[in-house]
């Protein structure tokens, strides 16, 4: 059985193809989102529900990544590691007033 319901994959695909999400993704990452993976996951899920054949029972794309590592609502990771270097402790003069 797929890790998520087929309607979840369909909803993620519809959201990914939406104008608002495409605009935000283009603004944040400089490229349009790749929504083909969500469609493939949906089709694999439907094939498993419809046929329950040996090849469709273990859909490799669905089991390898149950949806959270796909680009989508929950699994999107930032492209860069960050702007600032993380500190171990505050600076020694943290309590002094700013200029």
Helix, strand or coil for residue 37?
helix
Residue 39, both tokens: 């469609």
Q: Which two tokens stand for residue 72?
A: 């989508």
Residue-wise pLDDT for 50-64, tens only, equals 887 555 555 455 555
Q: Please state, as a whole number, how many other Cβ atoms lie within 10 Å of the Cβ of residue 97.
A: 4
With beta carbons less than 8 A apart as the criterion, state whether 40 and 61 touch.
yes
> pLDDT tens-digit profile of 17-74?
999 999 999 999 999 999 988 898 888 888 888 887 555 555 455 555 554 455 444 4
pTM: 0.54
Sequence ranges of the domains in the chain: 6-57
């Amino acid at each position: 059985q797929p890790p998520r319901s087929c309607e979840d994959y369909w909803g993620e695909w519809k959201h990914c193809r939406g104008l608002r999400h495409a605009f935000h993704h283009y603004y944040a990452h400089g490229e349009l989102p790749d929504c083909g993976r969500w469609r493939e996951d949906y089709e694999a899920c439907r094939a498993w529900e419809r046929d329950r054949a040996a090849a469709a029972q273990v859909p490799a794309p669905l089991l390898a990544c149950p949806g959270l590592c796909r680009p989508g609502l929950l699994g999107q990771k930032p492209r860069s590691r960050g702007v600032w270097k993380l500190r171990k402790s505050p600076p020694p003069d943290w309590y002094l007033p700013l200029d």
